[in-house]
Amino acid sequence: MARHSSTARAYLLIMEAHHHPITRLVVLASGNGSNLQAVIDACADGQLSEHADVVAVVSDRVDAFALRRAAGAGVPSVHVGRQPDEARADYDARLADIVAGFDPGLIILAGWMRILTTSFLGWFPNRVINLHPARPGELPGTHAIERAWQEALAGERTGTGVMVHLVPDEGVDTGPVLATDEVPILPDDTLEALEVRIHAVEHRLLVDTIRSICTERKEITA
């Protein structure tokens, strides 16, 4: 069963109230976008429709399938590529300017493969969350599922997990945890089988966390 952090809930209670009755979601994604699709579907099928709406999808990669998913759902999408010799802070400032134009209540990093600097995060305090396929404090950074599976093969672990956390700074998967859930690694698991189970948990946990955040915001502003 997913666990939602009481510490994170207290953190959320000081979040800036947003003036829209429906929370405007901007999703940043670099790749396939299956978690983006889960959020789009949840907004369409009633799970999130009373609480949130995806108003834009932004990718740093022009060939990201996430952009095609956005187009298929009628969601505005933007490719923001890095310019030659552009510094990280300059890219992030340009990215922040574009994202701010969509007036987001919540920014979701769903497979976003760039570490954001304060040049971006400073524009959106307490409004950026990240999904990571590992338990809190474990396997930060890329290829977390593959690394967990390899450790299981070596007899070093029997399970992994998924978490959603706030992104207050440039730490890699270290922000205050909003929600987490366990995923066992079975003795006969292939990497592909483990990926399928983890992705299913990711989709559910992300949607549940967005709903919790939006509900708490409504309670604050009621």
Please report where in the chains the tokens 């760039």 appear, as a residue. Answer: 114
Catalytic residues: 132
Tokens of 70: 């956005």
Query: What is the amino acid identity at position 56?
Result: A
φ, ψ of residue 165 to 5 degrees: the values are -140, 155
Alpha carbon distance 16, 217 (integer Å): 9
Alpha carbon distance 177, 12 (integer Å): 11
Burial 15-31 (b: 16+ CB within 10 A, else e): beebeeebbbbbbbbbb
Query: What is the amino acid identity at position 123?
Result: W
